[in-house]
Structure 1
Amino acid sequence: MRCAPSAGAALVLCAATAGLLSAQGSPAQPEPPRFASSDEVNLLAHGLLQLGHGLREHVEHTRGRLGSLERRLDACGAACAQASGTAAPPPAANPVVGDAAAPETLRNLQVQLKAQDTRIEQLFEKVAQQQRNLEKQQLKIENLQSQVRLLAPSHVEHKVIKPARGKRLPKVAQDGDTAHNASRLHRLPRHCQELFEEGERQSGLFQIQPQGSPPFLVNCEMASDGGWTVIQRRQDGSVDFNQPWEAYKAGFGDPQGEFWLGLEKVHSITGNHGGRLSVQLQDWEGNNESLQFPVHLGGEDTAYSLQLTAPVASKLGATAITPNGLSLPFSTWDQDHDLRGDKNCAKTLSGGWWFGTCSHSNLNGQYFHSIPRQRQQRKKGIFWKTWRGRYYPLQATTILIRPAVDASAS
């Protein structure tokens, strides 16, 4: 029986492979430590996974052969017992199929089979455990790579990290740009509009740092009229927007998919100068609507109230507007700040929003992949009353903001 040595040889091969990799990383002359690239780590992890799969298949195949052999031994047990008085077969004879095999030889062989089966079972468990460990390591590697991409102060497009302009990365600045870069080495751009004013025309992910705020990643849309920061996107229902207050304050989701940037980040971008809000809507027939209007977003002490001028508020369908306009506090299911005293709009509907009286708009509502038949269910969806009506759940939305001119000049 050579099944166990073969399985053991696979483990020896795995150990030898690790030894060769260690030997290659230790040259004769001492050199500075070198970290493996993500591609090298992925390649090694993939190779180990393949080795584990191959060893697992080998063990299963060997176990099948042992089971078949043991069944054959059980089948010939009676015949072998009848031949107990005959002489033992010569060494070259096959003890499995020979009718003259001695009972003692048969028992010894069965003991050996059970011992081999136990060893293979132990080996199989080790291989399975090693495979689980490798899969966990692979998940950790992918998670770390995602965090590195988000933390890198670079421009990302189509999930490929590219260096941003040299003026934001001093190590790649040209000699001729030294004077221009001198004033930019100590800080990041404050918002997408500042990037636009400095000549950036390519949309994508950038790291910014508004005044008094730590750096964070934003999705910039560079249009002909300036640089806009995307603060919300809905497109496929991949992110749950029915979140509590702290989630809406900090932000959630994937900047390259569905996401909410975070109320505190939006407030840091506009500051006390206000800005201009752009709302882009799409229905299920492929029709699009785009709205732009001036806004002012207060801080958390005002529940991030959205200040709208009287003409804008009236155009959006609001009633009971004061001469100074309309102030809409942000509200979630765990912090009710809406203008309705008899109900919690966020609980009745879904998501967090500047609800007002629950009926004007809600772009953070429940995402439906098709229009529900029941009216009660449709009202919980994504809607903008003055465009497609109160009970029409939209297919896609994007909200962008750009700080006021004074904010860019200051």
Structure 2
Amino acid sequence: MRCAPTAPAALVLCAATAGLLSAQGRAAPTEPPEPPRFASWDEVNVLAHGLLQLGHGLREHVERTQGQLGALERRLRACGAACAESGGGAATPGPGPRAAAAAETLGSLQTQLKTQNGRIEQLFHKVAQQQRHLEKQQLKIEKLQSQVSHLGHRMAKTGRRKRLPKMAQLAGPAHNTSRLHRLPRDCQELFEEGERQSGLFQIQPQGSPPFLVNCKMTSDGGWTVIQRRQDGSVDFNQPWEAYKAGFGDPQGEFWLGLEKVHRIAGGRGSRLAVQLRDWEGNAESLQFPVHLGGEDTAYSLQLTAPVASELGATTVAPNGLSLPFSTWDQDHDLRRDKNCAKSLSGGWWFGTCGHSNLNGQYFRSIPHQRQQRKKGIFWKTWRGRYYPLQATTMLIQPTAVGAAS
């Protein structure tokens, strides 16, 4: 591109335009091909934003230059008109031809600038279009990643619910995994064999495959922990099959499983211990004799009259009461007009709904609404139905031994 000599502003414009055109037409130097590499999203995003900023800058420069050219054109026209008027009354030739030549040069520059501006606009729109396309693709990728993460979380959660023994082994090895003789049937038998350390152990009740349990050894014998609540890390609002098989982590929050507890009890008389703690640091410990039936009885607790009354029995026979276990999908409670597990939360030997529920919803702070507090973990005869407890533990032991400490 060659530029005719004009005003200084036009010369600067000519140089800038020529630079743009020469840069556009210059061929890139030949270099050996690099191995293919996929750019990360951050790299592509930075490049796209850089191109957009370059497009904005070029467009602003062109608009500013067009304004300067317009001002120059108006000055030339004014000068040409003035020169024509002065030339009409004088004998000397006016500057009209020079003004016409300058106007022609200015027009040529404006035409080239418009062409270059059109190219810049096309480039700008293409970059903006690619940027929008990249943003849409990124949103799709993030949505797919979220779906995969959610699916993995659900699969892991399902595995925790249905495969308690496997998860317990991941949580920590059992202390008696190297035993060569038969496994004990419960923690009490392990205690009688000389074990005094609490922890995870393999047991094998009669007629049952081996499974892992958490044993608490006291001065009076071995207790099998069947439930623990302490931090709300496990969802206890589970269906019947989950409560039957067990779920959670035996070293944290867990429910051992109704079938496993039934196998441990084995039709024998047992003692159930309930340990409670409130948010003020107060603790309470209860013990009472129980028999636990099998699934054909809905894993009913057979309780003596005093304990049955405490757990919500409205009428108690002289030999006690059989209190079945209920979940939201299998209603066996003593209320004909209500499903206690649906009305409250979790699975439990509900009785008439309002006396106890150690498998309710875990609250890290006490809810203000009374109806919400009813869904929590409570033991009515200690802190009341509307006080959600901070921690609970349930343990079981055969009654062939003396009372535990």
Identify the TM-score tier after normalising by the shorter chain: 0.5 to 0.7
Match of 1:61 in 2: 46
Match of 1:74 in 2: 59
SS at match of 1:168: coil
Change (3 A) 1:101 1:276: farther
SS at match of 1:277: strand
Paired residues for 1:344-383 under 5 Å: 344-347=339-342, 349-371=344-366, 378-383=373-378
Contact 1:154/1:207 (CA < 8 Å) preserved in 2? no
Change (3 A) 1:372 1:143: closer
Change (3 A) 1:272 1:126: same
Deviation at 1:267, TM superposition (A): 1.1
Match of 1:93 in 2: none
Contact 1:234/1:397 (CA < 8 Å) preserved in 2? yes
**Paired residues, number:** 333
Is residue 2:286 matched to residue 1:301?
A: no
Change (3 A) 1:272 1:368: same
Match of 1:46 in 2: none
Deviation at 1:299, TM superposition (A): 0.6
Residue of structure 1 aligned with 2:395, choices 385, 395, 400: 400
Whose radius of gyration is greater, 1 or 2?
Answer: 2
Identity %: 62
Deviation at 1:321, TM superposition (A): 3.9
**Counterpart amino acid of 1:62?**
L
Deviation at 1:297, TM superposition (A): 0.3
Contact 1:317/1:385 (CA < 8 Å) preserved in 2? no
TM-score normalised over the length of structure 1: 0.61
Residue of structure 2 aligned with 1:268, choices 249, 257, 263: 263
Instruction: Tell me the alpha carbon deviations over residues 159-198 of structure 1, each in whole angstroms, 9 at most, x when there is no partner.
Output: 5x4x444x525xxxxxxxxxxx5435xxx65444455455
SS at match of 2:290: strand
Distance in 1 separating the partners of 2:332 and 2:164: 33
TM-score normalised over the length of structure 2: 0.62
SS at match of 1:387: coil
Larger mean CA deviation between 197-206 and 283-292 belongs to 197-206
* Stretches of structure 2 lacking an aligned partner (at least 5 in a row): 1-22, 24-32, 71-102
Match of 1:177 in 2: none
Deviation at 1:285, TM superposition (A): 2.5
Deviation at 1:295, TM superposition (A): 1.5
Instruction: Tell me the alpha carbon deviations over residues 120-153 of structure 1, each in whole angstroms, 9 at most, x when there is no partner.
Output: 6656666666666667777788888896996658
Change (3 A) 1:11 1:223: farther
Residue of structure 1 aligned with 2:283, choices 288, 299, 315: 288
Change (3 A) 1:327 1:118: same
Contact 2:302/2:323 (CA < 8 Å) preserved in 1? yes
Contact 1:219/1:230 (CA < 8 Å) preserved in 2? yes
Deviation at 1:355, TM superposition (A): 2.9
Contact 1:281/1:289 (CA < 8 Å) preserved in 2? yes
SS at match of 2:317: coil
Match of 2:8 in 1: none
Larger mean CA deviation between 116-125 and 377-386 belongs to 116-125
Change (3 A) 1:71 1:227: same
Contact 1:218/1:255 (CA < 8 Å) preserved in 2? yes
Change (3 A) 1:114 1:267: same
Distance in 1 separating the partners of 2:125 and 2:336: 76
Contact 1:56/1:128 (CA < 8 Å) preserved in 2? no
Residue of structure 1 aligned with 2:223, choices 221, 228, 251: 228
Match of 1:183 in 2: 181
Distance in 1 separating the partners of 2:44 and 2:136: 10
Contact 2:312/2:353 (CA < 8 Å) preserved in 1? no
Larger mean CA deviation between 309-318 and 329-338 belongs to 309-318
**Counterpart amino acid of 2:43?**
H
Change (3 A) 1:69 1:366: closer
Match of 1:331 in 2: 326
Contact 1:154/1:206 (CA < 8 Å) preserved in 2? no
**Counterpart amino acid of 2:381?**
T
Match of 2:245 in 1: 250
Paired residues for 1:71-220 under 5 Å: 71-78=56-63, 79=65, 102-115=113-126, 118=129, 152=166, 161=172, 163-165=173-175, 168-169=177-178, 181-184=179-182, 190-197=185-192, 200-206=195-201, 208-220=203-215
Cα RMSD between the aligned structures? 4.7
SS at match of 2:382: helix
Instruction: Tell me the alpha carbon deviations over residues 67-109 of structure 1, each in whole angstroms, 9 at most, x when there is no partner.
Output: 222223323435369599769xxxxxxxxxx999654444445
Distance in 2 separating the partners of 1:124 and 1:342: 55
Distance in 1 separating the partners of 2:167 and 2:243: 24
Deviation at 1:257, TM superposition (A): 4.0
Distance in 2 separating the partners of 1:317 and 1:110: 80
Distance in 2 separating the partners of 1:153 and 1:71: 58
Contact 1:270/1:404 (CA < 8 Å) preserved in 2? no
SS at match of 1:386: coil
